[in-house]
Amino acid sequence: MVTPISTDPTSTASTTSLWSTQPTRAPHQSLTADDFMNLLVTQLKNQDPSSPMDSAAMVQQTTQLGMMQQMTALGSSSNTALNLQMQTAAADLIGKTVSYNDLAGAHQSGVVTGVSFSGATPTVSVNGGTFPLSGILGVQQTPAS
C-alpha cells in the first residue's frame, strides 16, 4: 500500500519523498538457513561465466550452511533440555520447605504446595503466593508431622 507523505513545511513527517511504501515483511536481526541458501543461489545465478565460482569456495559455503543448521538445532535442544530440567526441579520441590524473599523483599519460608508451568519459567506456590523458581534461596526437607 502506497500512502502520500505530507508536503506541508510545518508537518513533522519526513519530506524527502512524496510517497512512502509499507514494508512487505518485518526485518529480522539474524540470518536463517533460508537466507543463507538464497544468497548462495543468487551468487551462483549471477556469477561470471568466464570466471565461475571456485569449487572450494562453494564447498566451504555449503559446509558453513550445514554447521549453521547444526548450531541452530543444538541451541534448540539445549533450550528444551533446560526447560525440562527446570520443570523437574520445580516439581521436586512440592512438599518441601523453601526459603525465599517475598515481593516486599522480606525473607520468608514455607512449604511448596504447587507448581505451575504456564509461563516461560516454572513458578511455585508457597504460603498462598506464587513465586518464580529462580527466587528460591534454599530447600529443606519438611519434617514429618
Give 28-51 pLDDT, tens digit per residue: 566 677 887 788 788 878 887 777
Is the distance from CB of 145 to CB of 126 less than 8 angstroms? Answer: no
Q: What is the pLDDT of residues 117-132, one digit of tens each?
A: 988 889 999 988 888 8
Contacts 24+ apart (CB under 8 A), 110-113: 111/142
For 18, the grid coordinates are: 512524496
Specify the pLDDT at position 17: 54
With a cut of 90, say whether residue 9 has pLDDT above it: no
Specify the pLDDT at position 88: 92
3-state helix, strand, coil in the chain (%, to 5): 35, 25, 40
